[in-house]
Amino acid sequence: MRLPVHLFRTLLPLILAAIALSGSTRVATADDLPPEIDLAPGPTNIVLIVADDLGYGDLGCYGAPDVDSPVLDGLARSGIRFTQFYSNGPECSPTRTALMTGRYQQRVGGLECAIGTHNVGRYDDAIRLANEHQLGLPPTENRLVRRLKDAGYTCGLFGKWHLGYEPHMWPLQQGFDRAFGCLGGNVDYFRHTENDGWNTLFDGDRLVEEDGYMTDLITDAALEWYQSVKNRPFFLYVPYTAPHSPIQVPGEDTGKLTPLDEWNRGPRHKYAAMVEHMDRGIGRILEALQEDNLERNTLVIFMSDNGADANGRNAPWTGNKGGLFEGGIRVPCIVRWPGRLPEGQVVNHPAITMDFTVSMLRAAEGQADETGEFDGIDILQQIEEDRPVGERTLFWRARRGDRTWKAVRSGSLKRIWKLEGDRQQQWMFDLEADPREQQNLLDERPEDARRLAELHAEWEQEVRAGR
């Protein structure tokens, strides 16, 4: 039996007192506890690291032939590596919404597409909310940070926010104790402005100007905060901007903003260098945990928010960021939790971003969630207890302008729709037999196609936004 940390701490004085009253003249200690009681060292710290637009095949441990990522490769060897991990959306804001809420982002409204520069809504619902100054994540929806705070955690964010430009939606308003980074979805790595020169670098509740390469600023700020809170339970959220465009590497500052027509393009070797620099920054964070003997008491999660654009490598999957083929949503994910999760294990069953919200809350609260308010599952508990996950049904919908992508995966079958104006395209694949989505089974298996369409239609009704 493993007692939750909070229950163990409540019972420990009573257990030791009972031992002392047993007649022994020796002073009772924790060593006298029965062997079935697990002496947990205290609340689990949580480090959540999110890369931006990192493709499935952009790390050495995921087959990248041209990226040297020793830190993340080492993390995979000491933890678990997912091969069927999905982002909740094919773009930034949707996935981050699901991460903060533990629910499908469609429930919030207006966040099925990345928020545009200068707080621009990119489809009808998002445009309406932007006009009402409500585009972004309402703080009341941020279940992750709110419940971590209730559990006694101090919470820090260092990096990309992209869940609202409005002041009432900034990270401090969401419950974070400390926050530093950029508000929007893209940032020049040297000038820290968006692609039109608009500054969105923030520190706390104000816009600031700093010198330095963005990846380093994020790592430095995260480590500075960590040193001030490491003696109490903490949640360290590090959403790097790398390797999102513009493709810029340290030491190559041109002294001017990258022209807009060059913003999203760059040579592959520079993209790889950006990933490698992020890997080194992550290494500094992990080294700090090791030096302070906190490594064994810290849950570390690394993931990408969606697939890569044309600069990255989504191999072996088809598709890119923005779409719902595997390359747009199947991403790298590595987790280490010493003493709780196996070392060096490869997890081959499906999981999704919002699953980790539930897993992190169990790690913090010491017990499984019973509220029933989450769409994600506690994926780490199932792996920890070596229980089969079973067949899952996962849903996606992404909107931008008059284009809508939809997808549902049930078991190994996946159906995709792409609607743009008056044009509609549809596909269905068996991912077990055809993981690269090359053989469209839509006409061959009409009953399965109909069943998946009905599942998706029911889900769309169930997750309709309340605002």
Q: Where are the domains of the chain?
A: 1-40, 45-384, 393-462
What is the secondary structure of 180-207 as a DSSP string?
EEESSS---TTT-B-TTS-B-EEETTEE
**Per-residue pLDDT tens over the stretch 6-62:** 444 434 444 434 434 444 434 334 344 444 434 445 799 999 999 999 999 999 999
Provide the pLDDT for residue 262: 82
Q: Is it the case that residue 323 has pLDDT exceeding 80?
A: yes
Strands 80-82 and 234-239: unpaired
CA pair distance 438, 434, nearest whole angstrom: 7
Mean pLDDT along residues 322-337? 98
**Per-residue pLDDT tens over the stretch 60-79:** 999 999 999 999 999 999 99
Provide the pLDDT for residue 254: 86
Instruction: Identify which has the larger pLDDT, 3 or 444.
Output: 444
Q: Of 218-227, 358-367, 385-394, 416-425, which gets the smallest average pLDDT?
A: 385-394
Provide the pLDDT for residue 98: 98
Chain position carrying tokens 């950006």: 274
Q: Is it the case that residue 408 has pLDDT exceeding 70?
A: yes
**Per-residue pLDDT tens over the stretch 359-377:** 999 999 999 988 899 999 9
Mean pLDDT value across the chain = 91
- Cα separations in angstroms, 164 against 89, 106, 109, 237, 421: 17, 16, 13, 17, 28
Whether residue 53 contacts residue 312, with contact meaning beta carbons closer than 8 Å, is answered with yes
277 is catalytic: no
155 is catalytic: no
Instruction: Identify which has the larger pLDDT, 235 or 39.
Output: 235
At residue 72, φ and ψ (nearest 5 deg) are: -70, -35
Amino acid identity of residue 289, one-letter, is: L
The packing angle between helices 92-101 and 355-365, to 10°, is 30
What six digits make up the tokens of 241? 């901007």
Provide the pLDDT for residue 27: 37
Q: How far from chain centre, in Å, is Cα 296?
A: 21
For the four alpha carbons of 74, 80, 83 and 86, in that order, the dihedral sign comes to negative
Q: Is it the case that residue 326 has pLDDT exceeding 90?
A: yes
Q: Which of 61, 162, 192, 277 is catalytic?
A: 162
Provide the pLDDT for residue 16: 39
Provide the pLDDT for residue 12: 42
Whether residue 95 contacts residue 305, with contact meaning beta carbons closer than 8 Å, is answered with yes
Q: Which residue, 286, 370, 376, is CA-closest to 336? A: 286
Question: Which residues are paired to 420 by β-bridges?
Answer: 403, 423
At residue 354, φ and ψ (nearest 5 deg) are: -65, -15
Note the CATH architecture for domain 45-384. Answer: 3-Layer(aba) Sandwich (3.40)
pTM of the complete model beyond 0.95: no
Q: Which residue, 146, 203, 65, 49, is CA-closest to 364? A: 146
Please determine, looking at this structure, whether the domain spanning 393-462 carries the CATH number 3.30.1120.10: yes
Q: Is it the case that residue 227 has pLDDT exceeding 80?
A: yes
Mean pLDDT along residues 197-213? 96
Q: Is it the case that residue 418 has pLDDT exceeding 90?
A: yes
CA pair distance 340, 362, nearest whole angstrom: 13
Is-cis flag, bond preceding 267, omega within 30?
no
Q: Is it the case that residue 305 has pLDDT exceeding 60?
A: yes
Chain position carrying tokens 């490594």: 295
Mean pLDDT along residues 119-144? 97
Q: How far from chain centre, in Å, is Cα 380?
A: 14
Q: Which of 61, 92, 113, 155 is catalytic?
A: 92
Please calculate the CA angle 163-103-129 and round it to the nearest 5 degrees: 40
- Cα separations in angstroms, 423 against 345, 402, 419, 452: 44, 10, 6, 20
**Per-residue pLDDT tens over the stretch 143-193:** 999 999 999 999 999 999 999 999 999 999 999 999 999 999 999 999 999
At residue 47, φ and ψ (nearest 5 deg) are: -120, 115
For 28, residues 6+ apart whose C-beta sits below 8 A from its C-beta are: 16, 17, 19, 20
What is the secondary structure of 106-136 as a DSSP string?
GGTSS-SSPPBTTTB--SHHHHHHHHTT--S
Provide the pLDDT for residue 41: 54
